[in-house]
Every structure is written in C-alpha cells, then in structure tokens.
Amino acid sequence: MSASSPSSKRRWFFFALIGGLFAVGVWYFGFRAKPVPTTGNSWRRGMMSAEATPVKTVTAEKKALAVHLKSIGTVTPLNTVTVRSRVDGQLLRVLFEEGQRVKKGDLLAEIDPSPYQNKLAQAEGQQTQNQAQLDSAENDLRRLQPLYEKTLVTAQELEAQQALVNQRKGALAAFAAQVEDARLQLAYTKIEAPISGRLGLRQVDAGNLIRAGDSGGLVVITQTQPISVLFTVPEVDLQKVLDPLRAGEQLPVEAWDRSEQNVLASGVLKTVDNQIDIATGTLRLKAEFTNADERLFPNQFVNVRLRVQTLENAVVIPAAAVQFGSRGTYVYIVNEKTQAVVRDVVLGPADGTQQAIIKGLSPGDHVVLEGLDRLREGRPVTVVNGQPGQPTAAAGK
C-alpha cells in the first residue's frame, strides 16, 4: 500500500492539471475571445449600412395628362371611283397624266363624237318634221271649228281632227326625248372627272375602241383630301369612346408611323360602327384627316392614338418608377435625410411612359427612377442625376 501511494498521487495530480487547463481554455475561448469577432461584425455591418446607394430620381409633377387608346389602323379613301366610258367608240384623246391631281368636272378623255353627232342631227330633223305635221293638224282643227258651229261638218269629223292633233303632239314629244337622248350620248363622248382626287395608272391608250361599262375602265380616281383611317378598339374601352362622343365632344386622333416616332397627321373621330365584331370583340371606328400634305396614303398601315380623356392637374411620374409587390403598388422616394422611403401609391390612368398617381404622392416629391434593385427602407442614397433642387446625400460624412 505505501509503495503504490506516490504513484497514485502523481496520477491525481496529472488529472487535476489537465482539468485545470481545460477550464482555462473554456474560459478564454468562450468568454473572452468570442466578443472580439462580434464587435468586428457589428462595426462592419454599421459601415455597410452607412454606404449610400447611388440612384437617379425624378420629381413628381402636377400637369395635364392626356389619356389615349392605341390601335393599328388602315388609311382608307373617302371615295374611290373607276372612271368608265358610258358610250361605245374610239378613244381619240387622253388628256390626263398618271398621278395627276384633278378636280371634279375636269376633262379626262374624249371619244370620237361623229356617230353621235349624226344621231343628234337625225333626231332633230325628225323633230322638225313632226313639228310641221302638228302645226298643219292644228290649223285644220281651227278651220273646222267654225264650220262645225254652222253644221257644215259633223261632230265625228271634228273629233277625228282633234285626235290627229293630239297624236301629232305625242309624236313630237317622243322625238323631243330622242333629241335630248342624242345630245346626252354626244355629251358622254367627253369623259369628265366625277370627283376630285389623285389619278392612278392609265388603263387604256388613245386609239383603242372602248365600250360602255368596261370592267377595267380608263383610270381610278382616289380621294386623298380629306382621307379617313379605320381602326378598332376593344369592347372593354367602348364607354371611354362613346360617352364623350355622345356628349358632343370631338375626340382628337393622331396617326403615327410604324416606328411610333413621327406624327403623320392629326384629325378627329367621325363615327363608330353600329355593332361589335363578335369574332374579335372589337368595335370599328373611323377618323378623318385633312391630309393637306398627303402624308397619309391609301391602304397604308398606321399607329393610331385616340385621346379619350385629359386629366387636369394630375400628379405624374414615369411609369418605370412604379414597383409592384405583395404590398401592392409602391415607389421609393428620397426624404430630407437622403434616405430611401417606401411610399404606397394608387395608380390612375397611364399614357405611354407617363403614369398618373391618384393617391400617395405630392407634387415635388423626389421619386427614385434608377437603382431600385439595391434599395431598402431607410437606406442612405446618393442622387447622381444632378438636377437642381434635388436633395444631396450625406454619404461619407
């Protein structure tokens, strides 16, 4: 027992030493070394939260906002006429140039009038002959009337002469109508423009024999001043058009080119169709343009903007500044402390890139337009667009 006592004491001393070193290690790493990195992380997070995010802002403005309906339309002439001859004959002269503008009544072509002049002369000669026969019958009737009163002729003879006079009058009236018809046929040998407009390509050359009602005709006249544009609007937007139209308002219409960069012409809405197309759920509308410079061409496709409403004194911002999320529609604004603040908004009508705000913004609010993806509530920002009157950031201070 006494021999093993020193060895047992050494083992207990060794175990006590190990336990003491373990306790010191737990105290050092658990209660002293741990706060150091915690303090460093808090400092780093503070520095990161103090970094200002660069953004571009716009100022909410109060102004009139025009609300448009957009559609694709087709330029359609108000009148298109194929000029055809109304009589048969040889085409003597063509008096127009292709593409020429003409007015109603301008002489376009002439057909050989000789056959029709002969028919007119024949009808006039026959009319003269019938006039002479009528005069003779009337003279005979005047001579018979005194004789009848003296009972020198019978009533039957007097009635027969009266019937002959009436017959001559009827024949004269018939031949007078033939004379007028011959004159009309002769007038048709001169082909005049039935409407004002621009001529197309010539279909028949001089010297050809043409007939009345030829399907090809001589030329096509298209009215281009004024001109109309046909387009459609969805059924859901029908009341936006009908309400002001029935109230007597003139709704302005603009025709833009395909790139929607240039306005080709401005006009007004003239009428709407009387029924909705059940296949497409749209309603056809017609707008009219003066087209003084002829920038609208028949059958041309254009982008149509129909102004149905104008919001006076509306708070307007770019539509790109509006954000959509689970909380609804909102924007970021920059407050006096140059911090990003979320502002819930109620949207009104939009027109292209402009968005009306019904509730949530006031004129003069600085709304963030770019840099939205890095923003959080209360985060410092730096305005980099340099617009006058913008708040300056306190980054780095």
Report angle CA 298, 299, 301 to the nearest 5 degrees. Answer: 115
Pairing of strands 53-59, 381-383: parallel
Q: Which amino acid is at 96?
A: F
**SS3 category, 391:** coil
CA atoms within 13 A on the CB side of 114: 4
Confidence (pLDDT) at 199: 94
Q: Which two tokens stand for residue 51?
A: 């970094």
- Indicate the pLDDT class of residue 9, thresholds 50, 70 and 90: low
Amino acid identity for residue 359 in this structure? K
At 42, is the pLDDT very low, low, confident or very high (cuts 50, 70, 90)? very low
Between CA 267 and CA 249 the distance in angstroms is 13
- Check whether 344 has a pLDDT greater than 60: yes
End-to-end CA distance of the chain: 78
Lowest mean pLDDT among 25-34, 256-265, 306-315: 25-34
* pLDDT band, residue 155 (cuts 50/70/90): confident
Displacement of CA 342 from its chain's centroid (Å): 38
Q: How far is CA 160 from CA 84, 147, 163, in A?
A: 50, 14, 5
| Bridge partners for 315 per DSSP | 62, 357
Express each pLDDT in 275-302 by its tens digit.
Answer: 999 999 999 999 999 999 999 999 999 9
Query: Span 6-22, mean pLDDT?
Result: 68
Dump the DSSP string for 51-99.
SPEEEEEEE-EEEEEEEEEEEEEEEEES-EEEE--SS-EEEEEE---TT
Provide the pLDDT for residue 134: 86
Average pLDDT value for the chain:
84
Residues above pLDDT 90, as percent of the chain:
43
323-358 burial, b for 16+ CB within 10 Å, e for fewer?
beeeeeeebbbbeeebbbbeeebebbbebeebbbbe
Residue 219 has pLDDT above 90, yes or no: yes
Helices (H), 151-246: 155-187, 238-246
Per-residue pLDDT of 366-379, as tens digits, reads: 999 988 888 888 88
What residues contact 332, with CB distance under 8 A and at least 6 apart? 55, 321, 323, 340, 341, 342, 343, 367, 368, 372, 375
* Window from 25-34, 72-81, 168-177 with minimum mean pLDDT: 25-34
- d(Cα 272, Cα 253) in Å, to the nearest integer? 13
Residue 193 in this model has a pLDDT that exceeds 90: yes
Average confidence (pLDDT) over 208-230 = 91
Which residue type does 290 have?
T
Tens-place pLDDT, residues 158-192: 888 889 888 888 888 888 899 999 999 999 999 99
64, 311 Cβ separation under 8 angstroms: yes
Interatomic CA distance for residues 51 and 10, integer angstroms:
61
What pLDDT sits at residue 385?
75
What SS3 class is residue 258?
coil
Look at the block and give the residue holding tokens 């503008």: 101
What average pLDDT score do residues 205-214 get?
89
Q: Label residue 34 by pLDDT band (50, 70, 90).
A: very low
In this structure, which amino acid lies at residue 249?
A: E
Give Cα 195 to chain centroid, integer Å: 26
Cβ atoms < 10 Å from Cβ of 73: 25
DSSP state, residue 392:
P
Q: How far apart are CA 367 and CA 363, in angstroms?
A: 10
Distance CA 368, CA 381 (A): 10
Predicted pLDDT at 47:
44
Tokens describing residue 168 = 């001559």
Which stretch of 26-40, 68-82, 110-124, 316-330 has the lowest confidence by average pLDDT? 26-40
